Structure 1
Amino acid sequence: MNVLTRRLVSGAAAAVFCLGPAASPASAAAPPRPDPAAIAGVVRANLGPARLPGVAVALVKDGRVLHTGGYGHDARGEPVTSRTPMRIASLSKSFTALAVMQLVEAGRLGLDDPVVRHLPEFAPADPRAGRITVRHLLDHSSGMSDTTYPEATLPQPDSLRQAVADLRHARLAAAPGMRHDYHNPNYWVAARLVEVVSGVPFAGQLDRRVFTPLRMTSTVTVGNWRDPVPGLVDGHNRFLGLTWPRTEPDRFVAGSAGVVTTADDLARWLALHTRDATSAVLSRRGLRELRRPSAPDGRYALGWDNPDTYGGPRQITHPGSSFTSTATMVLLPDTGYGIALMSNSRMPLEADVEAVMEDLIALTRGSSGAGAPLPLAFVADLTALAAALSVAAAGAVRARRARLWARRRAGAARWRTALRLVPYLVPLPGFVFLPRLLELVTGGRDVTFVLLSHIWLTLLATAGLTAATGLLVLAARTRALLRQGRAGHRGSPPGRAQPEARVS
């Protein structure tokens, strides 16, 4: 059951409950806090060869850490614990946004200041870029987009300075403030803004002004996912129904996705955001401003999202994925809970990780949740594999029977025969342009073959095998037609009848 279905079912159940008798004072009491055994039960039900290899969890309430833990194993086979370093990818944006907000509260810049006022080096190839504000960067409404600047397919920069300089080739997909387009370079510019205005390198500023005050002693931020971090191990992908350790490819992530942390440290981050009070790093008002939607979509805030929960409890959240890991964090303002979940795998579908989070949220409401659903990533992998084998088997049969097919087409018009061959050519451009086709599904987000080889290698192999099979059948049938044509040409001269075959 996917997340939307689960939420619709939960909402329907809640509606039915509300039609019943009024709750007694005892039944209206707050549900008990989730205990470690219940949390472990939810997570372990979703671990295993067909599910997730390793998961780390943090649970807080009203600024107090209730539980942190690790389950399963890493790519070396070592147990995952609450102190295991893991990538949190785009959850990092909330840290960058807070670093910017610190400068706002210090009077060094304003959220609605034009970026170029503080960062003259920011000069995209579009005259409208001068109207991009700091807020536009943080809520992804700057007008920059993967559709006009496909950052994943371009050479990766090696510093924030170079990342901003490279944007001189970028054009805007929309006027600033008019449209929400999730685009990682927004946060490269925001991180560069932090280090220019503060006079301190971005990583140093985060360490000095955020990690250290919050006692996040095992947290760092890197510029590239290949940068070494003590204790950090790359995660897993799925291929042919099995989970395999994989290596993170070259990807620039400073400011957008570079934070590496542990469940223990991430719990302290959640505690900051569930305490609803002024802290050593930011005022109460500043923290609330970070989480307040400001983007044109009415949902995205400054490094946080406010999704439609389809009747479920109100959430402030953000997901994140590297090529071999997945993370998500959720704040539940109505109850004061905060939950973080980190997985050392990136699967074809992220529904498996979402299912764990949904059940953890259910625990905070006094429910046991829906239980472990079907391992959707495993099912999707096997479905793709079955499709690939079916296509290959059917293609082999057609290629083997190519001569028979050619004899049957002997009297047909050539254009009709050519049309019969066209469908076998179609899978080739489908495979070549697969990333572009998938961008239609992802809303224009940049998709590459490297990304596909990590997210869903089985699908990529299926598409490649389908294209190869089509070419094999096309070649076999074309060859059979040519042979048949030559054989007919070597027959009797025009006007001379063939001798009648004798039946013995």
Structure 2
Amino acid sequence: MNVQTRLLLTGTAAMVLLLGSPATPVTASAPPDPAAIAAVVESGLGPARLPGVAVALVEDGRVLHTAGYGHDANGEPVTGRTPMRIASLSKSFTALAVMQLAEAGELGLDDPVVRHLPEFAMADPRADRITVRQLLDHSSGMSDTAYPEAALAQPGSLRQAVADLRDAGLAADPGRRHDYHNPNYWVAARLVEVVSGRPFAEHLAQRVFTPLRMASTVTVDNWQDPVPGLVDGHNRFLGLTRPRAEPDRFVAGSAGIATTADDLARWLALHTRDTESTVLSREGLRELRRPSAPDGHYALGWDNPDPVDGPRQITHNGSSFTSTATMVLLPDSGYGIALMSNSRMPLEADVEGIMDGLIALTRGTPATGAPAPLALIADLTVLAAAVPIATAVGLKARRARAWARRRSTAAPWTTALRLLPYLLPLPVFAALPRILELVTGGRGVTFLLLSHIWPTFLAAVGVIAASGVLLLTARVRALLRLRPVRVPRPESADPPGTDG
């Protein structure tokens, strides 16, 4: 269950409070044809679904298909040459850059980070034991629960990002558990800078992008940094998709790459060719994809989830505030698929549905068709809960005087108990990010993030909280107006003609 699905389930529960067997693998007799690919992708496009999508498909190192579908935020057609953010898919590139240094003998994956990056220091002395591998498989002990980086001031450089960790602690012993945490890759990218002697972006450009002929691929420090040809994506509010700008977010090494379907196909070709390459050895590429984290799944910038009704996969997902991307390697068949969408929805079911359909095509089985538009359904669900609640509370507020007259003779403490529940939605709204972090396993949630991935839910909870405050205010004012006004009695005067 992905983070967005868990947020939907928790969001629905919050609204209430405020009131198979595995498939048998099939070998495709021929690669999917462009018309079949287009049919799968276009089933996920539309006003209630995704605005624009770009796809890359490779097999055993051969690029079979790249194309774009739909439109960007400016209304222009998406093509295989349209730049898009790939967010956390960038981690696989950072891991490869580190592996290049390891193969060159400039560092060891199991070396302590401080041996090669003396500036790396944390408030917890256990940080001295963190290895390079533990950064890359997120088992360093760093965590959003100990260092909520998304809610903090964003650094301006990799050097500053590492320096900011000096006051941070660890959530666990290094190597004990897997905690997905972006600063792991900030430190890894800074390590590349220091060991290679060149800026991180320059290292990727010279040692990765250029050899792979990824001419339209760049990496940035912040999602607000300009990229030629890159257009911000979309969010959905009240069931309608609308363009949104990316907010201030430091992403160097962790999520900073923008690329095209044409270029991402070359990246997939590298990983499906299973031979020596100009950027890394065959053994090095395999090591990147081999699980090493305590969860038994996460590798070095790649994940190895348990197969569910499908073939074995090596994959990674990523999301910016206005875009979504995913890539999948199918080692049993030699296929690789990448999918980029210029939107970030409350659920990623449309993106997942397209990927499932493309995987089905590679196996020679028909796609199951588009899933239900869950992003739209999610919005309608919270609206169906919030609108009646807000309407009912508004009607109660209009009848506040009649309510006050009925309560005018009641004991004050009983009246207070009747009013108190209307205040409860306010602290729930204020604590909403912390509540949702319980669902995401401690991953940082902020109001800024919620305003992009599910603004309808955030607005709905806010309206309910505001309605409760409005009703309480109206009833208290009505009670105060019913209280008798005591006029002070004038002091009696002495009768005329008497002595004072």
**1:77-114 deviation line (CA, Å, top 9, x unaligned):** 00000000000000000000000000001000000000
Match of 1:14 among 13, 23, 28: 23
Report if the CA contact (8 A) 2:429-2:461 is conserved.
yes
Report if the CA contact (8 A) 2:27-2:363 is conserved.
no
Name the CA distance, whole Å, in 1 between partners of 2:107 and 2:95: 13
Tell me the CA shift for residue 450 of structure 1.
Answer: 1.2
SS of structure 2 residue aligned to 1:233: coil
2:138 maps to 1:140: yes
Name the CA distance, whole Å, in 2 between partners of 1:409 and 1:292: 69
Q: Which runs of 5+ in 1 are unaligned?
A: 5-10, 19-27, 491-504
2:220 maps to 1:211: no
Instruction: Map residues 490-501 of structure 1 onto 2, 5 A cutoff.
Output: none
2:347 aligned residue: 349
1:230 aligned residue: 228
Name the CA distance, whole Å, in 1 between partners of 2:380 and 2:114: 51
2:363 aligned residue: 365
Moved more, 142-151 or 473-482: 473-482
Could you tell me which amino acid in structure 1 is paired with residue 73 of structure 2?
A
Tell me the CA shift for residue 135 of structure 1.
Answer: 0.5
Report if the CA contact (8 A) 2:91-2:255 is conserved.
yes
Could you tell me which amino acid in structure 2 is paired with residue 479 of structure 1?
R
Match of 1:118 among 116, 119, 130: 116
Match of 1:221 among 212, 219, 222: 219
Could you tell me which amino acid in structure 1 is paired with residue 119 of structure 2?
E
**1:98-157 deviation line (CA, Å, top 9, x unaligned):** 000000010000000000000000001110000000001000011111111111111111
Name the CA distance, whole Å, in 2 between partners of 1:31 and 1:464: 54
Tell me the CA shift for residue 299 of structure 1.
Answer: 0.7
Name the CA distance, whole Å, in 2 between partners of 1:158 and 1:69: 35
2:86 aligned residue: 88
1:302 aligned residue: 300
Tell me the CA shift for residue 403 of structure 1.
Answer: 2.1
2:244 aligned residue: 246
Moved more, 380-389 or 36-45: 380-389
Give RMSD over aligned pairs.
1.8
2:282 maps to 1:273: no
Tell me the CA shift for residue 437 of structure 1.
Answer: 1.0
1:21 aligned residue: none
Tell me the CA shift for residue 14 of structure 1.
Answer: 3.0
**1:367-414 deviation line (CA, Å, top 9, x unaligned):** 222201111111111222232221221111111122222233344333
TM-score, with normalisation over the residues of structure 2? 0.92
Name the CA distance, whole Å, in 2 between partners of 1:317 and 1:255: 18
Could you tell me which amino acid in structure 1 is paired with residue 223 of structure 2?
W
Tell me the CA shift for residue 420 of structure 1.
Answer: 1.3
2:265 maps to 1:256: no
Could you tell me which amino acid in structure 2 is paired with residue 14 of structure 1?
A
1:315 aligned residue: 313
Instruction: Map residues 59-98 of structure 1 onto 2, 5 A cutoff.
Output: 59-98=57-96
2:464 aligned residue: 466
Match of 2:416 among 382, 407, 418: 418
Tell me the CA shift for residue 359 of structure 1.
Answer: 0.9
- Pair 309,29 (structure 1): closer, same or farther in 2 beyond 3 Å: closer
Report if the CA contact (8 A) 2:22-2:310 is conserved.
no
Could you tell me which amino acid in structure 1 is paired with residue 370 of structure 2?
A
Report if the CA contact (8 A) 2:42-2:69 is conserved.
yes
Tell me the CA shift for residue 165 of structure 1.
Answer: 0.7
Instruction: Map residues 426-441 of structure 1 onto 2, 5 A cutoff.
Output: 426-441=424-439
**1:312-370 deviation line (CA, Å, top 9, x unaligned):** 21111000000000000001111111100000000111111111111111111112222
Tell me the CA shift for residue 430 of structure 1.
Answer: 1.0
SS of structure 2 residue aligned to 1:243: strand
Could you tell me which amino acid in structure 2 is paired with residue 253 of structure 1?
V
SS of structure 1 residue aligned to 2:150: coil
**1:436-480 deviation line (CA, Å, top 9, x unaligned):** 111111111111111111111111111111111000111111122
1:390 aligned residue: 388
Name the CA distance, whole Å, in 2 between partners of 1:40 and 1:113: 47
Name the CA distance, whole Å, in 2 between partners of 1:295 and 1:416: 56
Tell me the CA shift for residue 483 of structure 1.
Answer: 2.5
- Pair 76,106 (structure 1): closer, same or farther in 2 beyond 3 Å: same
SS of structure 1 residue aligned to 2:325: strand
Name the CA distance, whole Å, in 2 between partners of 1:14 and 1:203: 43
Match of 2:126 among 128, 137, 142: 128
- Pair 417,31 (structure 1): closer, same or farther in 2 beyond 3 Å: farther
- Pair 412,305 (structure 1): closer, same or farther in 2 beyond 3 Å: same
Tell me the CA shift for residue 418 of structure 1.
Answer: 1.4
Could you tell me which amino acid in structure 2 is paired with residue 116 of structure 1?
V
Match of 1:407 among 405, 408, 415: 405
Name the CA distance, whole Å, in 2 between partners of 1:29 and 1:131: 46
Name the CA distance, whole Å, in 2 between partners of 1:478 and 1:352: 48
Name the CA distance, whole Å, in 1 between partners of 2:212 and 2:88: 20
Tell me the CA shift for residue 13 of structure 1.
Answer: 6.9
- Pair 319,13 (structure 1): closer, same or farther in 2 beyond 3 Å: closer
Tell me the CA shift for residue 29 of structure 1.
Answer: 6.0
Name the CA distance, whole Å, in 2 between partners of 1:137 and 1:96: 11
SS of structure 2 residue aligned to 1:314: coil
2:13 aligned residue: none
Name the CA distance, whole Å, in 1 between partners of 2:402 and 2:429: 29
- Pair 435,211 (structure 1): closer, same or farther in 2 beyond 3 Å: same
1:169 aligned residue: 167
Match of 1:178 among 176, 179, 192: 176
Name the CA distance, whole Å, in 2 between partners of 1:389 and 1:359: 36
Could you tell me which amino acid in structure 1 is paired with residue 397 of structure 2?
A
Match of 1:54 among 38, 52, 66: 52
Name the CA distance, whole Å, in 2 between partners of 1:405 and 1:75: 50
Name the CA distance, whole Å, in 1 between partners of 2:411 and 2:360: 66
